[in-house]
Amino acid sequence: MRVPYLDYHTAGESHGPALITLIQGMPAGVELDMDLINGELLRRQGGYGRGGRMRIETDTAEFLGGVRNGVTIGSPIAVRIANKDSRLDDADKTPPVHRPRPGHADLAGSVKWLTTDCRGTLERASARETAARTVAGAIARCLLRDLDMTVFGFVRSVESAIWDGAVNAGNLDAMRSARDASEVYCPDEPTSKAMIACIRAAKENKDTAGGLVEAHVFNCPIGLGSSVDWREKLDARLAYAVMGVQAFKSVEIGLGKDVAGLPGSKVHDPIEFNAGNRETPSLGFSRPSNNAGGLEGGMTNGSPIVVRGAMKPIATLLQGLPSVNLNTKQPEQSDYERSDVCAVSAASVVVENVVAFEVARAALSKFGGDSLLETRQNYDAFLEKASMLPLEPPSGTIA
Ligand code: EPS
């Protein structure tokens, strides 16, 4: 029996030999854009505020299975990213950690796995693992591209430096260029400078900084995801994927938590129809606002998907934080492990890619197909039928 949907797993520790990504359910015939995949890995390594580790590594995807001459063949895709700073089995170079860092997985993990050494926990909990997830998402984007969908992620804020500009299909290319010119992956130059100032101040104070990242998905057909089962609701899947990224503490879709303070008339996006756009993935339906963030009833509604996540400041502070030695139970400052001051820029790349994976999963769940050709044909057939609504009613139903 064929695994019914697109899925992935990752393995590997921060200082183990490598990170591994295993993807199943990808149709055959998807051309993998190695520049895109390795470009996303490079972007994930960057961003102002990153620590010394990123100067050691050169994250590159090595394909071990599922791909022939750069094209998927329908079998599981296995990818390896080598860790140059591999030293997990050397106890001198990866010493035990007995003073858990507040905010990190250290305390809960060491108790969970019945040890007073947090090392095993922190090695896997490290955000280094997000390189493996970035690969999964970047591969999924190659499929999305074949279905005409585009994903764009950026940094919305770092501490008090917030950009309040808008990204839309019309300015997407300009926003992408501006983001790529920014050291903090924010499309606005003055805000980027303010963000850098916040990160610099945090570093001087031996502190760390968090922020908001956003991912937008353009040109989604109406009807990805489902309202019939909570596990298939695309907004729920997106929240799961983003909350699963290290250090994320909240996820919002569209207007997010602000919906709670507004009347329905100010929240819900009116529905309009323009027959001239009937042949597009939104089938001619348009919305003058996008408070829903492109999702209603757990399904895409033809507007861009808008997902926002809040990343807490990194838990490893140069100054340490009040903690307890797990062996003596005496109060001590938490251990210091080499770390970033701010990884919000890197997280925006991770979020962009995990969001892409969920949209690709929803697209395959709707259109299926063992080969891209089949998937694309199913997609086109759906759009054609949907653009012709109302169809002749099947017997027993009312149009
Ligand atoms: C990271 C690699 C890590 C950290 C960071 C992210 O490398 P190392 O542990 O060798 O310094 O720089 O990890 C964390 C922020 C964390 O919380 O563990 C990476 O590749 O992104």
Q: State which residues of the chain have pLDDT below 70.
A: 1-4, 394-399
Q: Give me the phi and psi of 69, to 5 degrees please.
A: 50, 40
By most ligand atoms within 8 Å of CB, the mutation choice from 94, 121, 338, 339 for ligand 1 is: 339
Three state DSSP letters for 207-267? CCCCEEEEEEEECCCCCCECCCCHHHCHHHHHHHHHHCCCCEEEEEECCHHHHHHCCHHHH
Token pair 């390795």 is found at: 38
**How far is the centre of ligand 1, averaged over its atoms, from the C-alpha of 114 (Å)?**
24
Do the Cβ atoms of 132 and 82 come closer than 8 Å? no
Do the Cβ atoms of 313 and 321 come closer than 8 Å? no
CA distances from 39 to 43, 215, 306, 344, 349 (A): 6, 17, 23, 18, 10
Q: Give the max Cα distance, the chain.
A: 76
Q: Is the pTM of this model over 0.85?
A: yes
The residue whose CA is least distant from atom 1 of ligand 1 is 128
For the domain made up of 7-387, the CATH class stated in words is alpha beta
Nearest ligand 1 atom to alpha carbon 316: 17
Q: Residue 107: its pLDDT value, please?
A: 98
Tens digits of residue pLDDT in 204-233: 999 999 999 999 999 999 999 999 999 999
Nearest ligand 1 atom to alpha carbon 247: 17
**How far is the centre of ligand 1, averaged over its atoms, from the C-alpha of 397 (Å)?**
57
Q: In a 10 Å sphere around its CB, with 0-12 CB exposed, 13-18 middle and 19+ buried, how is residue 157 labelled?
A: buried
Do the Cβ atoms of 274 and 298 come closer than 8 Å? no
CA angle, 338 then 342 then 345, to 5°: 125
The residue whose CA is least distant from atom 16 of ligand 1 is 126
Q: Residue 336: its pLDDT value, please?
A: 87
**How far is the centre of ligand 1, averaged over its atoms, from the C-alpha of 340 (Å)?**
7
Q: Residue 5: its pLDDT value, please?
A: 84
